[in-house]
Amino acid sequence: MSKYENKYEGRDRDSNEKSYSRKPKEDMIFGVRSVIEAIRAGRGFNKILIQKGMDKELFLELKEELKGHHFQLQFVPTEKLNAMTENNHQGVVALVSPIDYHNIEEVVEGLLEEGKKPFILALDRVTDIRNFGAIARTAECEGVDAILIPNKGSAQVTADAIKTSAGALNRIKVCKADNFKDSLFYIQQCGVRIVACTEKGNVPLYETNFKGSVCVIMGSEMDGITSDLLKLADVKCKIPMRGEIASLNVSVAAGMVLYEKLRQELY
């Protein structure tokens, strides 16, 4: 299964220097003071890139402001930041999220307080933006309450993702987890059954009970669901197949699983 990658030409540099590419279609805030003020204003970020070896005084001020937040930080060479913007970035570029991320614990608790049965979709390292957007579109159509993704190693909500989702990412709650396994364990302790969809499953999809409170885990495009999450799952279901290809596209598989829950509850 091939990954979708946006490729852009980098700047012409010394043959000994690595070429870096500019990131389009994603709002950026650059400069230490600008990023600090955006954090104070409660802006959401997909990632904050910080120059390696950044001036100590400036970095300490930013570091102090980052306390208590769980933004994804990446330390990069100054060449990468230069390729992203021609403006004076002062060693910091923040990629702004077009949506506000939610806290999964608060979402689940809120649903339970309202007397609802949570329906959560957990995506374990799904990195393809188009897959992510397509899954979100299906999830919104099938009544998913929230999508849970890892803070690192996952596709982020970008303009491309929102476009692919047909706007669904503006309507469904997306939650980031610093510790994906711990968040799933918390969900499980709230009485939500964890159902992992995997080729290693021993229960056919159509025999799996999806009624009530459920969290469905779908795995990455490359290697599926990680072993520690499989151990945590209450049920491991499998989509029956007759063909010779070993696996389905994750967005297609997600559509099958989410529809099966809706089918069982409607009929």
CB 45 within 8 A of CB 97: yes
Closest C-alpha to 151, from 76, 47, 28: 47
Q: How many other CB atoms are there within 10 angstroms of residue 188's CB atom?
A: 15
How would CATH label the architecture of 104-266? 3-Layer(aba) Sandwich (3.40)
Closest C-alpha to 89, from 6, 32, 137: 32
Which residues touch 177 (CB under 8 Å, ≥6 apart)? 104, 148, 149, 150, 151, 183
Q: What is the rounded distance in angstroms from the CA atom of residue 225 to the CA atom of residue 131? A: 16
Closest C-alpha to 149, from 119, 116, 127: 127
Q: Please report, for the chain, the start and end positions of each structural domain, with discontinuous segments joined by +.
A: 28-96, 104-266
Name the CATH superfamily housing domain 28-96.
Answer: Ribosomal protein L30/S12 (3.30.1330.30)
Helices (H) and strands (E) in the chain, counts: 9, 11
Specify the pLDDT at position 12. 38
CB 251 within 8 A of CB 230: no
3-state secondary structure of 126: coil
The answer to whether the 28-96 and 104-266 domains have the same CATH topology is no
Q: How many other CB atoms are there within 10 angstroms of residue 178's CB atom?
A: 11
CA-to-CA dists, residue 37 to 30, 125, 200, angstroms: 11, 31, 48
- What is the residue-level pLDDT of the chain in tens, covering all 267 positions? 433 333 323 333 343 445 554 444 458 999 999 999 989 988 888 899 999 988 777 788 888 898 888 888 899 999 999 999 888 899 999 999 999 999 999 999 999 999 999 999 999 999 999 999 999 999 999 999 999 999 989 999 998 999 999 999 999 999 999 999 999 999 999 999 999 999 999 999 999 999 999 999 999 988 999 999 999 999 999 999 998 887 899 999 999 999 999 999 998
Return the DSSP state at 163.
H
Specify the pLDDT at position 43. 84
Return the structure tokens found at 174: 């997306």
Specify the pLDDT at position 70. 80
Specify the pLDDT at position 69. 84
Specify the pLDDT at position 17. 44
DSSP H or E segment with residue 252: helix 250-266
Closest C-alpha to 190, from 108, 67, 94, 73: 108
